[in-house]
């Protein structure tokens, strides 16, 4: 069997883990909101019409932040449609997803749900069909305590306390020709800068995210970030990144190595942002907000052109298998490794649409395979991220070239003594023995291992078999300061190591 090796030491530290790395995303798309999180007629619905079963799973998955209301949806959205008496709310065409939006859920309902789920809301403003005025109006309605027209309107709508939303996205994917209100980098950069400055005058405590590229394959990738940050550097805090991965034409090896691509993407955006900062002789560092990431079997879905206009159609309801869960675990390893620069990340999306959770209207809700690595990483990763650099086998992939077979990262909470290691074997067929040197943790004796792997990489959960894919627990001994772990092919594992208690 091939062998890999890594050393864990609390002095080799990447940075403090920002818990906002475990964000998720709720978009008015398909059945993410309607019959996903919200279904007033569902047997588990609460007084506000939100599904209790989904609320429970949302708490269980341990997400911290939730981005809302889009996505592509936001680029034609009028936030005013979603507030005030239900009877007065319009039914509108959402051109982004060719759907009918009933506006039963809007800002106030969503903020209440997010609070109940223990999530910090991150709102996106419409910079596609709208601009500075509407973004400022929404901020005033949301964040000002009272005494102005729009804050008083919120109070009149029955919401006395301001939502105090701190995180705001300045539009969505405006580099994409598919986006309603698509713009050039110059146009968007100017609009984002002016919107940011105006919003900061209304609420100086907000954190702002400028749109980066929709993905790293965009023809404008790199120059888009540079131009947008040339305009916005002083008035925004973060730049966004989006990435979705899928297995192309049976190329499992590349798919399993998706984290290697995410690594390069992050490095390129850091370099571009720092280049802009250097030109300005700025001491400020722009954060990275990876506010859409996931696996997505896009090739399995037809386009929207022939979709009938309807409410909450079944859009992009991917069923995720074991290989998808291994990739998601690997992507989380990459995000953690860059904790010094990636401050916020949102898995997209929470329910039904490429979701962590699937639901049936009037029926059950269940955890998809990808739920498990997300929940385990969010639960076990604590404190500081440690630099973990496995040495060992490498293998060739068609899309991403030569990659490390084993990828890993670790976190260390000095207060509780909790050490957590996350490791993925990205080889489709070869097992690897991973040796972890723990000499810097002399009191470490046992390790609890929990992982996702299966002989059938396509195995998935479903309404009738919701526990086909569940994490598999085991233990591993630490002998003479060394831990040995079997990493089956195409597997992801989380290892909790008890060190001396403090």
Identify the CA nearest to 419 among candidates 452, 454, 446, 453.
446
Q: Minimum CB separation from ligand AHR for residue 347, in Å?
A: 10
Smallest separation, CB 292 to ligand AHR (Å): 5
| Burial class of residue 502, CB neighbours in 10 A (0-12, 13-18, 19+) | exposed
369 lies in the binding site for ligand AHR (CB under 6 A): no
Nearest C-alpha neighbor of 26 from the set 72, 70, 77:
70
Pick the closer one to ligand AHR by CB: 219 or 473. 219
Q: Which is nearer to ligand AHR, 214 or 425 (CB)?
A: 214
Cβ closer to ligand AHR: 173 or 317? 173
Name residues contacting ligand AHR, limited to 4-43 (CB under 6 A): 27, 29
Catalytic pick among 27, 120, 225, 292: 292
Q: Which is nearer to ligand AHR, 353 or 385 (CB)?
A: 353
> Looking at 349, 411, 461, 491, which residue binds ligand AHR (CB under 6 A)?
349
94 touches ligand AHR by CB under 6 A: no
Interface with ligand AHR (CB under 6 A), residue from 126, 172, 254, 368: 172
Per rule CB under 6 A, is residue 71 in the interface with ligand AHR?
Answer: yes
Is the Cβ of residue 320 or residue 441 nearer to ligand AHR in the bound state? 320
Closer Cβ to ligand AHR, 301 or 458, answer by number: 301
- Among residues 347 and 377, whose Cβ is nearest to ligand AHR? 347
Shortest distance, CB of residue 214 to ligand AHR, whole angstroms? 6
Q: Which two tokens stand for residue 389?
A: 């650099």
- Binding-site member from 72, 142, 352, 493 for ligand AHR (CB under 6 A): 72
Residue 289 found at the interface with ligand AHR (CB under 6 A) = no
By beta-carbon proximity to ligand AHR, the closer residue of 172 and 195 is: 172
How many positions of this chain bind ligand AHR (CB under 6 A)? Answer: 11
| 346-to-21, 243, 268 alpha-carbon distances in Å | 7, 11, 19
Shortest separation between residue 483's beta carbon and ligand AHR, angstroms: 38
Q: What is 5-34 written as a DSSP string?
A: EEE--TTSEEEEPPGGGGEEE--SSTTSTB
Residue 17 contacts residue 411 (beta carbons within 8 Å): yes
Structure tokens at 143: 């964040």
Residue 431 C-beta: closest distance to ligand AHR, Å? 34
Q: Report the DSSP pairing between strands 418-425 and 491-498.
A: antiparallel
Dihedrals phi, psi of 61, to nearest 5 degrees: -70, -20
If binding is defined by CB under 6 A, does position 291 make contact with ligand AHR?
no
Q: Minimum CB separation from ligand AHR for residue 349, in Å?
A: 5
H or E element, residue 377 = helix 371-380
Which of residues 94, 237, 263, 292 is near ligand AHR by CB under 6 A?
Answer: 292
**Which range touches ligand AHR (CB under 6 A), out of 40-48, 66-74, 374-382, 484-492?**
66-74
173 is catalytic: yes
348 binds ligand AHR (CB under 6 A): yes
Of the residues 173, 225, 247, 317, only one is catalytic, namely: 173
Which run of H or E residues covers position 191? helix 185-202
Residues whose CB is less than 8 angstroms from the CB of residue 273 and which lie 6 or more positions away in sequence, other chains included: 225, 229, 239, 285, 286, 288
Binding region for ligand AHR (CB under 6 A) out of 70-78, 224-232, 442-450, 454-462:
70-78
Q: Which two three-digit tokens encode residue 144?
A: 């000002």
Cis peptide before 349 (omega within 30 of 0): yes
126 binds ligand AHR (CB under 6 A): no
Cβ-Cβ contacts under 8 Å for 189 (sequence gap 6 or more): 210, 227, 228, 229, 230, 231, 232
The interface with ligand AHR within residues 430-449 (CB under 6 A) comprises none
At closest approach, how far in Å is the CB of 492 from ligand AHR?
23
Distance in Å from the first CA to the final CA of the chain: 38
Query: Is it true that the peptide bond before 69 is cis, omega within 30 degrees of 0?
Result: yes
**Residue 70 binds ligand AHR, judged by CB under 6 A:** yes
**Least distance from C-beta 490 to ligand AHR, angstroms?**
25
Minimum Å gap between C-beta 291 and ligand AHR is: 9
Residue 381: closest CA among 415, 414, 420: 420
CA 499 to CA 483: how far, in whole Å?
13
Compute the distance between CA of residue 412 and CA of residue 450 in angstroms, rounded to an integer: 18
Q: Which stretch binds ligand AHR (CB under 6 A): 68-76, 145-153, 160-168, 248-256?
A: 68-76
Task: Collapse the DSSP code of 347 into the 3-class scheme (helix H, G, I; strand E, B; otherwise coil) and give the result.
Answer: strand
For residue 372, give every residue at least 6 positions away whose Cβ sits within 8 Å of its Cβ, in sequence order, or none. 325, 452, 469, 470, 471
Cα distance between residue 12 and residue 287, in whole Å: 21
Pick the closer one to ligand AHR by CB: 72 or 359. 72
CB atoms under 10 Å from CB of 340, counted, come to 16
What is the set of active-site residues?
173, 292
Binding region for ligand AHR (CB under 6 A): 27, 29, 70-72, 172-173, 214, 292, 348-349
């Amino acid at each position: 069997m091939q062998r890999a090796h890594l050393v864990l030491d609390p002095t080799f530290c990447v940075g403090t883990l920002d818990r906002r790395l475990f964000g998720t995303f709720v978009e008015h798309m398909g059945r993410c909101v309607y019959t996903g999180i919200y279904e007033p007629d569902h047997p588990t619905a609460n007084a506000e019409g939100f599904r209790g079963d989904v609320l429970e799973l949302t708490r269980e998955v341990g997400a911290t932040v939730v981005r809302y209301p889009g996505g592509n949806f936001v680029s034609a959205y009028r936030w005013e449609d979603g507030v005030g008496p239900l009877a007065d709310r319009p039914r509108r065409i959402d051109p982004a997803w060719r759907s009918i939006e009933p506006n039963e859920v809007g800002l106030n309902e969503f903020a209440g749900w997010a609070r109940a789920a223990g999530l910090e809301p991150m709102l996106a403003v419409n910079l596609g069909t709208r601009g500075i005025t509407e973004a400022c109006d929404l901020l005033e309605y949301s964040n000002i305590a009272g005494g102005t027209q729009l804050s008083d309107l919120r109070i009149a709508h029955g919401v006395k306390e301001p939502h105090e939303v701190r995180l705001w996205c300045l539009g969505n994917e405006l580099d994409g020709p598919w986006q309603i209100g698509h713009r050039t980098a110059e146009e968007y950069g100017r609009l984002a800068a002016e919107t940011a400055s105006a919003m900061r005058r209304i609420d100086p405590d907000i954190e702002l995210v400028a749109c980066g590229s929709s993905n790293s394959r965009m023809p404008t990738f790199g120059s888009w970030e540079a131009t947008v940050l040339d305009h916005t550097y002083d008035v925004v805090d973060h730049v966004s990144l989006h990435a979705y991965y899928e297995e192309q034409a049976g190329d499992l090896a590349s798919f399993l190595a998706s984290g290697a691509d995410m690594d390069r993407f992050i490095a390129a955006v850091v370099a571009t942002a720092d280049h802009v900062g250097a030109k300005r002789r700025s001491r400020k560092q722009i954060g990275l907000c990876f506010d859409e990431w996931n696996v997505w079997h896009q090739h399995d879905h037809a386009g929207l052109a022939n979709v009938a206009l309807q409410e909450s159609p079944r859009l992009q309801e991917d069923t995720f298998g074991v290989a998808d869960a291994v990739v998601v675990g690997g992507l989380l390893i990459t995000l953690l490794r860059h904790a010094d620069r990636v401050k916020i990340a949102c898995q997209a999306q929470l329910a039904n649409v490429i979701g962590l959770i699937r639901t049936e209207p009037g029926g059950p809700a269940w955890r998809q395979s990808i739920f498990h690595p997300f929940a385990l990483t969010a639960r076990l990763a604590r404190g500081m991220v440690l630099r973990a650099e496995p040495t060992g086998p490498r293998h060739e992939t068609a899309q991403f070239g030569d990659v490390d077979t084993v990828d890993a990262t670790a976190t260390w909470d000095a207060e509780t003594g909790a050490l957590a290691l996350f490791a993925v074997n990205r080889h489709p067929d070869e097992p690897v023995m991973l040796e972890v040197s723990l000499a810097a943790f002399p009191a470490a004796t046992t390790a609890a291992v929990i992982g996702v792997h299966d002989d059938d990489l396509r195995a998935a959960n479903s309404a009738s078999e919701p526990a086909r894919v569940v994490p598999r627990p085991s233990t591993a001994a630490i002998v003479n300061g060394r831990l040995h772990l079997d990493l089956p092919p195409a597997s992801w594992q989380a290892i909790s190591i008890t060190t001396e208690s403090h």
